[in-house]
């Protein structure tokens, strides 16, 4: 977890660091810190630990920062080892205070290393795994290595995950950065250079962007970046194309990123479909075929696939549940699905004809990344569905299907979740297409249905005012049940997850038919049940399950298709949505009012929707 940034060169080092940290806050915000270097002066360090106010508090306390600073590092933390406190906040220093570093990841052998270094006389000030690194590098320097070699030598002794950046008061302008597992990107202009945990932190500041790979080390100086591999051989730099602009990473007039990102969903879906549905000649044009532009697996290889595994976490896992329905139904392939943190520990049976679909908006979630790596080690073909170009998962997989949602800053996934479902539906249809399972007219109908989704999602968002009114009437409720069946079940799970993570309200998602096998004992007058009751294949059965909870006094909120008075008659509150043109596409529309319900309930409770407590957007620890 955590976000790191480093800047060298130019006169605006501190404002640049603080600005980038603001863009990295979604990775963690229980503390924030910076260190600055100015030639001939000791390092200047400030750290603050005031929860979501840490960065603002830090920025307000920089009056004594050296104005002549020309290089520095910054960090926003999501605590793993050691409680959130100023002492545990980064940057951490060595015994002399002349070396400082920031780190994202977990050093698994920190206790062992710490004991060894303490025995050599090093004094640890914090409870973190990170501080051990500062002392380890100090130790190697005391044995004669320069900063660069000391970092490289230390890397060989580390177990676990790290992206780190190190500075030393005796090395003006130099930042040494390295990574294993945790992401690290680099940026350069003529007179400056930067390192950061992700691209948005560098947007508008760099002319060229580069990605550091596992076990690589970067020597970063103003206007210059030299990258070496684990054998210290220099690697030629390959600039990456970054299409995101700064505005895309800012709030654009909305109160918060989550509402901006919910409103961006129609465009995000349209962008994700762009170029992938091929129109037929004729007027009006209809869609006739699918095209996957970033595929690195041939149609022949896809035709040979006889089993699909889906691995993902959180909202990405819920998108994966929709994919299971779509791939089984359209492509007639068996699909297994696992939360990624369980997958590699249960000995799944894979071979070279298995397609493993790893879904991750960030492309860096360590559980999913490691699941994909263990699948690749068993010769399975790995296809990543991710929103981040050049993320670890994108680079390491056999094929990648990008969602084109643009940067998502709010911790709660919204537009990336919808575009994941779109990408996965495209994949399912593509598999069916290469397996020759569609009549052209059937495929054209489904592609047309996909093409109509941006407009339908926009209509669902336009009804936000009605959802807000429902949220206000439910603002006093603390326990919610979310029910759905078939593709409505992942929608229910996603609705419950959104509510939990930003409202801190108890919300359980169940397959509606399972309720009578136990959970219905919890239903009593006053319980609120939200059910996905759009016209998907098991609609009638959902209504029967709704009747069962109604009979026990529950307040019923139904997601229903516009004009469906028969369904609305069973509800105390209705969340109206347009009907999808194909049942398997319904989750893309039906989840929208549940995002909005969670959003408005969270606001009614006075919560910070973009930065919910205890969470970080990208989970880079196991």
Task: Supply the minimum distance, in Å, between the C-beta of residue 361 and ligand AGP.
Answer: 4
Task: Supply the minimum distance, in Å, between the C-beta of residue 314 and ligand AGP.
Answer: 2
Q: Which of 186, 213, 190 is nearest to 199 (CA)?
A: 186
Q: Strand 573-577 to strand 399-402: parallel, antiparallel, or no bridges (unpaired)?
A: unpaired
Whether the bond into 401 is cis, omega within 30 of 0: no
Q: If binding is defined by CB under 6 A, does position 412 make contact with ligand AGP?
A: yes
Binding part of the chain for ligand AGP, among 120-128, 357-365, 526-534, 571-579 by CB under 6 A, reads 357-365
- CA atoms within 13 Å, Cβ hemisphere of 276: 27
Binding part of the chain for ligand AGP, among 134-142, 242-250, 312-320, 588-596 by CB under 6 A, reads 312-320
Q: Which of 10, 314, 484, 509 binds ligand AGP (CB under 6 A)?
A: 314
CA distance 184 to 161: 12
Cβ atoms 330, 308 nearer than 8 A? no
Q: If binding is defined by CB under 6 A, does position 362 make contact with ligand AGP?
A: yes
CA distance 523 to 520: 5
Q: Which is nearer to ligand AGP, 1 or 326 (CB)?
A: 1
DSSP assignment string, 126-174: SS-SHHHHHHHHHHHHHTT--HHHHHHHHHTT--EEEEEEEEETTSTT-
Annotated catalytic residue, options 2, 260, 324, 498: 2
Task: Supply the minimum distance, in Å, between the C-beta of residue 104 and ligand AGP.
Answer: 14
What tokens were used for 138?
């100090």
* CB within 8 Å of 220: residues ≥ 6 apart: 6, 8, 174, 175, 176, 177, 186, 193, 194, 195
Cβ atoms 366, 339 nearer than 8 A? no
DSSP assignment string, 323-362: HHHHIIIII---EEEEEHHHHTTS-----TTEEEEEEESS
Q: Which is nearer to ligand AGP, 117 or 461 (CB)?
A: 461
Q: Which of 192, 259, 361, 595 binds ligand AGP (CB under 6 A)?
A: 361
Cβ atoms 428, 399 nearer than 8 A? no
Binding string, residues 590-619; x marks residues near ligand AGP by CB under 6 A: ----------------------------xx
What tokens were used for 218?
């970067």
Q: If binding is defined by CB under 6 A, does position 201 make contact with ligand AGP?
A: no
Q: If binding is defined by CB under 6 A, does position 360 make contact with ligand AGP?
A: yes
CA distance 506 to 497: 10
What tokens were used for 346?
């249960």
Annotated catalytic residue, options 260, 415, 456, 617: 617
Q: Is 617 a catalytic residue?
A: yes
Place of tokens 């270094």: 117
Q: Which of 341, 365, 419, 527 binds ligand AGP (CB under 6 A)?
A: 365
Q: If binding is defined by CB under 6 A, does position 316 make contact with ligand AGP?
A: yes
What tokens were used for 350?
């894979």
Q: Which is nearer to ligand AGP, 287 or 402 (CB)?
A: 402
Q: If binding is defined by CB under 6 A, does position 391 make contact with ligand AGP?
A: no
If one counts every other C-beta atom within 10 angstroms of the C-beta of residue 223, the result is 14
Q: If binding is defined by CB under 6 A, does position 424 make contact with ligand AGP?
A: no
Q: Which is nearer to ligand AGP, 308 or 366 (CB)?
A: 366
Sheet containing strand 193-196, strands side by side? 44-48, 31-37, 71-77, 3-8, 193-196, 185-188, 208-211
- Using CB under 6 A as the binding rule, the residues of this chain from 94 to 133 that contact ligand AGP are none
- Using CB under 6 A as the binding rule, the residues of this chain from 504 to 563 that contact ligand AGP are none
> Angle at Cα 333 formed by Cα 332 and Cα 339, nearest 5°?
130
Q: Which of 368, 374, 527, 555 binds ligand AGP (CB under 6 A)?
A: 368
Q: Is 415 a catalytic residue?
A: no
Binding part of the chain for ligand AGP, among 132-140, 179-187, 313-321, 394-402 by CB under 6 A, reads 313-321
Binding string, residues 167-196; x marks residues near ligand AGP by CB under 6 A: ------------------------------
Q: Which of 20, 154, 216, 315 binds ligand AGP (CB under 6 A)?
A: 315
- Active site positions, annotated: 2, 617
Residues contributing to the site for ligand AGP (CB under 6 A): 313-316, 360-362, 365, 368, 411-413, 501, 618-619
């Amino acid at each position: 977890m955590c976000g790191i940034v480093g800047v060298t060169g130019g006169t605006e080092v501190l404002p640049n660091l603080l600005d980038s940290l603001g863009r990295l806050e979604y990775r963690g915000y229980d503390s924030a810190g910076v260190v600055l270097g100015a030639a001939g002066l000791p390092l200047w360090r400030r750290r603050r630990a005031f929860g979501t106010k840490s960065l603002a508090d830090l920025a307000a306390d920089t009056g004594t920062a050296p104005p002549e600073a020309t290089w520095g590092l910054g960090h926003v933390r999501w605590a793993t080892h050691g409680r959130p406190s100023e002492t545990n906040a980064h940057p951490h220093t060595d015994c002399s205070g002349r070396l400082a570093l920031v780190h994202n990841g977990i050093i698994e052998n920190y206790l062992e290393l710490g004991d060894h270094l303490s025995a050599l006389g090093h004094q640890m000030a914090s409870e973190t795994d990170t501080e051990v690194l500062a002392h380890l590098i100090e130790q190697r320097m005391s044995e004669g290595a320069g900063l660069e070699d000391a970092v490289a030598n230390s890397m060989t002794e580390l177990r676990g995950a790290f992206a780190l950046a190190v500075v030393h008061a005796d090395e003006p302008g130099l930042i040494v950065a390295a990574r294993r597992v945790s992401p690290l990107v680099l940026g350069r202009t003529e007179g400056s250079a930067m390192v950061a945990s992700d691209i948005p932190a560098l947007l508008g500041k760099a002319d060229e962007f580069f990605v550091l790979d596992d076990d690589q080390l970067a020597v970063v100086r103003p206007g210059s970046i030299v990258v070496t591999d684990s054998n210290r051989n220099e690697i030629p730099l390959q600039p990456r194309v970054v299409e995101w602009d700064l505005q895309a990473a800012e709030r654009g007039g909305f109160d918060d990123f989550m509402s901006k990102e919910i409103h961006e969903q129609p465009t995000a879906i349209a962008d994700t479909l762009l170029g992938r549905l091929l129109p037929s000649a004729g007027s009006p044009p209809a869609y006739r075929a699918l095209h996957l532009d970033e595929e690195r697996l041939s149609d022949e290889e896809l035709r040979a696939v006889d089993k699909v595994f889906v691995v993902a976490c959180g909202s990405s896992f819920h998108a994966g549940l929709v994919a299971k329905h779509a791939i089984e139904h359209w492509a007639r392939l068996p699909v297994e699905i696992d939360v990624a943190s369980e997958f590699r520990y249960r000995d799944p049976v894979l071979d070279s004809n298995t397609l493993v679909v790893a879904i991750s908006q960030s492309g860096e979630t360590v559980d999913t990344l490691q699941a994909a790596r263990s699948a690749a080690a068993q010769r399975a073909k790995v296809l990543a569905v991710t929103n981040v170009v050049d993320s670890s998962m994108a680079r390491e997989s056999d094929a990648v299907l990008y969602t084109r949602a643009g940067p998502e800053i709010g911790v709660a996934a919204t537009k990336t979740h919808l575009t994941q479902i779109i990408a996965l539906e495209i994949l399912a249809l593509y598999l069916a297409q290469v397996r020759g399972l569609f009549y052209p007219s059937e495929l054209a109908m489904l592609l047309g249905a996909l093409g109509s989704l941006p407009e339908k999602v926009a209509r669902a968002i336009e009804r936000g005012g009605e959802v807000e009114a429902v949220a206000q009437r439910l603002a006093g409720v603390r326990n919610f049940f979310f029910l759905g069946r078939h593709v409505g079940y992942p929608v229910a799970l996603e609705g419950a997850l959104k509510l939990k993570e930003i409202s801190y309200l108890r919300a359980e998602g169940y397959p509606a038919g399972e309720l009578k096998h136990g959970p219905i004992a919890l239903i009593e007058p006053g319980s609120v049940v939200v059910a996905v009751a759009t016209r998907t294949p098991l609609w009638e059965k959902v209504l029967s399950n709704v009747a069962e909870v109604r009979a026990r006094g529950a307040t019923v909120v139904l997601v229903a298709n516009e004009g469906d008075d028969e369904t609305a008659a069973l509800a105390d509150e209705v969340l109206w949505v347009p009907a999808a043109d194909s049942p398997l596409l319904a989750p893309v529309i039906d989840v929208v009012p549940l995002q909005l319900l969670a959003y408005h309930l969270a606001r009614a409770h006075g919560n910070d929707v973009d930065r919910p407590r205890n969470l970080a957007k990208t989970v880079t620890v196991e």
